[in-house]
Amino acid sequence: MTQDPLTLYKLIVLYMLDRVAFPLTQAQVFEFILDKEYTNFLNLQQAISELTGAGLITAKSIRNRTHLELTDDGRETLNFFQNRISPSIKDDINKYFKENEFELRNEVSVYSDYYKATNGEYEANLVIREKEIELVNITLSVPTEEIAEGICDKWESKSQDIYNDIVKKLF
């Protein structure tokens, strides 16, 4: 029995999201699948769009990243059809996560966003998550959008140091 290639791409995405206990960014999924040359950008974009439309994954945009998570329906679908993914593809995915889990987790556990508050100032929201638990959630009120954006940009690289400083000073 031959398989529709788009179905395989969808199953690969579902399998990837099932293998981690944290959301993956769309860029992380794309990087792996495109680097392995399983398909091209347009096919993968279509697969993710159809998975989202069918409610098998959720896509949440935070600033310039889209975070993907498996839904219960997606997990059930994967359980039913995962035998259609070749063992070599599963091995590639498992090996990738084993080698890159720390970096992948760090990339999605630290995020920031900003918005204009009702008082006319901007608020930068800075978060560190570990699985579903927020370790840090800081909101800073600043006078301009440029400052809020700069704070959010720096949060990515300095969040661990800031978290460590807070813990040292409070404990």
Based on the fold, state whether residues 9 and 63 are members of the same structural domain.
Answer: yes
DSSP 120-153: SSEEEEEEEEETTEEEEEEEEEES-HHHHHHHHH
What is the tens place of the pLDDT at every residue in 71-128? Answer: 999 999 999 998 999 999 999 999 998 888 777 777 767 888 899 999 999 999 998 8
**116: β partners:** 122
Domain span at residue 30?
Answer: 5-108
**pTM for this predicted structure:** 0.71
> Token pair of 79, please?
């359980």
- 23 and 91 in a single domain? The answer is yes
Domain shared by 33 and 104, yes or no: yes
CATH of the domain at 127: 3.30.160
Do 130 and 97 share a domain, yes or no?
no
Q: What is the C-alpha separation between 125 and 56, in angstroms, rounded?
A: 29
Using the 8-state DSSP alphabet, how is residue 82 labeled? G
